[in-house]
Amino acid sequence: MELIKDGKRIDGRSFDELRPIKIEAGVLKRADGSAYVEWGGNKVLAAVYGPREAQPRHIQNPTKAIVSCRYNMAAFSVSDRKRQGPDRRSVEISKIVSEALDRVIFTEQFPRATIDVYMEVLQADAGTRCTCLTAASVALADAGIPMRDFVSACAVGKVDGQIVLDLGKEEDNLGEADLPIAIMPRTGEILLLQMDGHLTMEEFNKAVTLGMNACMKIYEMQKEALMKKYTGD
């Protein structure tokens, strides 16, 4: 299968182009904060509860809050029905997302508490962990939780020997490398960086720069979504 044709990718995008993104803040009434993100074919709903008292008592940390995240894919999110319940992959994503968010939240302000983040993937189309992180950080800000900064995430990859931004489904499955990156947009500090496949050092550096620039674009959209909710325009 030809993934790059006449300098264009399979879905007609250029190498450094993102898929269309829509972010909405405060979509759920019962949660303390929430966000809904559509990123290409991805549809993710994130909800935040807390800070609230950690239960059972023995998991409490007397010096800081626990950030506990759950990444879950709906049975209907992929073309073959996904068997329900946590699997190896979703446990891993839950863990890395909570570690990334733990770094930005002022957890020391809420000793003995937990901040729970639930991320539900309603439809998956490559890059769900970045979509989830993006949604989760908007939901956290919506919940009024004190944070050092936002978290903005985006994936980069290598397809047919080219470094391309924001892989689609086919590119992810048939490409040569996939590199999700999450950063704190203000400082540029990296919160998450994983790599699947192979890249040379030059390719890697090029990919990271491309990814960080894209994260800044995502950051602008996140800000816009929150401003829309809180100023009503």
Partner 1 sequence: MIIMNSKNKKREIVLPGEFLGENLEPGPGVYNEGKQAYASVLGVKSVRANRVNVVPLSGRYIPKVHDCIIGTIIEVGPSSWLVDINSPYPALLHITESPWRVDFGDAAKFLNIGDAVLVKVSGVDEIKRVQVTMKDIGLRKITGGQLMEIPPSRIPRVIGKGGSMISLIKRSTKCRMFVGQNGRIWLDGGNVSTAVAAIKKIEKEAHTFGLTDAIGKYLEGK
Binding interface with partner 1 (CB under 8 A): 32-33, 50-53, 62-63, 106, 109-113, 141-150, 184-186, 223, 226-227, 230-232
Sign of the CA dihedral running 163, 136, 152, 202? negative
Q: Which two tokens stand for residue 120?
A: 């539900």
- Give strand pairing partners of 5: 8
Q: Least distance in Å: CB of 108 to partner 1?
A: 10
Of the candidates 204, 212, 156, which has an alpha carbon nearest to the alpha carbon of residue 185?
A: 212
> Could you tell me which residues are beta bridge partners of residue 162?
159
- Please identify, using beta-carbon distances, which residue of 3 and 138 lies nearer to partner 1: 138
Q: Cα(first)–Cα(last) distance of the chain, in Å?
A: 45
Q: Report the residue number, 20 or 232, with the smaller CB distance to partner 1.
A: 232
User: Which lies closer to partner 1 via its Cβ, residue 144 or residue 197?
Assistant: 144
The least CB distance from residue 125 to partner 1, in Å, is 28
Count, in order, helices (H) and strands (E) of the chain: 4, 12
CB 231 → partner 1: shortest distance, Å? Answer: 5
Closer Cβ to partner 1, 185 or 211, answer by number: 185
Q: What is the smallest separation between the CB atom of 39 and partner 1, expressed in angstroms?
A: 20
* Minimum separation from the CB atom of position 150 to partner 1 (A): 6
Q: Measured from the CB atom, is 153 or 226 closer to partner 1?
A: 226
